[in-house]
Amino acid sequence: MKRLCEGRVAIVTGSGRGIGREHALSLARHGAHVVVNDLGAGVDGSGGDLSPAQQVVNEIEAMGGKAIANGDDISTWAGAERLIQTAVDTFGDLHAVVNNAGILRDRMMANMSEEEWDAVIKVHLKGTFAPSHFAAAYWRDRQKAGHPVDGRIINTSSVSGIYGNIGQTNYGAAKAGIAAFTVISALELARYGVTVNAVAPVALTRMTENLGPAPETDEEREQRSPKWIAPIVTWLASEESKGVTGRVFEASGQVLAVAEGWHRGPTHAPVADPTTLGPVVEELLAKARPNAGMDGRDGTWPQPQAK
């Protein structure tokens, strides 16, 4: 088997279980040295246990690979800095950061607490920004010192963010923010030899097992396995993906797709009098594509309820 990431050094946050575990194992199978980062917290972010990360390390070592467990909290500035330094100190370099860690605190907006909002935003948004910041600074300094850089940042967005899902204003806002962060940081880091992309996965994990109906057949369970997300992440972490940046890929056992970002739709000349806007907006909306639903397709987004 061709090994896409031979000798590359990769960090995967939240990789003790679920999707992140599949990322770490796949990267290792393709020759990467892996920093397996995981707090070992519950789905809501509470608690902590390094043993899930160490178990993944043990699996990687059993297959002949190299890995180290890391329990730093990547949503903190100091924790993110230590994580990046761990990769460099242990393996001598850094080539890819997979920002995968996340939690859920689902609640309808009118019932959501400040803590439930803050916790999700911190883990997802700051937990993506902080490791990316320290990795970017490392690559910038390497490039300025005359060393070749072929860096990768691979973020984790969600269809809940790019398309929208009821009960997830906190999670969806964070994941939409990660998609925007991906596009902007790709523009900023291109000068240093770094690409930035994201995946929007759909898989059955402990975070999603209570969301929606459970799979009833072996085929449905297979389609929702987290193993389907790892191939695109592994490829994006490799040297082969050098020409791809600023994109969001949907990935599941049913589809691999590129999500197309915001584009300007139908237009009209500026209007000064708001009393005349009704017909103008009506015309614009009649020409515009409807928002996509969770399946990424037109026409499935919920329509306003009649009064």
Query: Which residues form the catalytic set?
Result: 171
CB atoms within 10 A of CB 267: 8
Q: Based on the number of CB atoms within 10 Å of its own CB, is 126 exposed (0-12), middle (13-18) or buried (19 or more)?
A: middle
Q: What is the DSSP letter of 45?
A: S
Q: Which pair of structure tokens corresponds to residue 18?
A: 């679920």
Q: Is residue 58 within 8 Å of residue 21, measured between CB atoms?
A: no
Q: Which pair of structure tokens corresponds to residue 149?
A: 């850089």
Residue 306 makes CB contacts below 8 A (sequence gap 6+) with none
Q: Based on the number of CB atoms within 10 Å of its own CB, is 299 exposed (0-12), middle (13-18) or buried (19 or more)?
A: exposed
3-state secondary structure of 250: strand
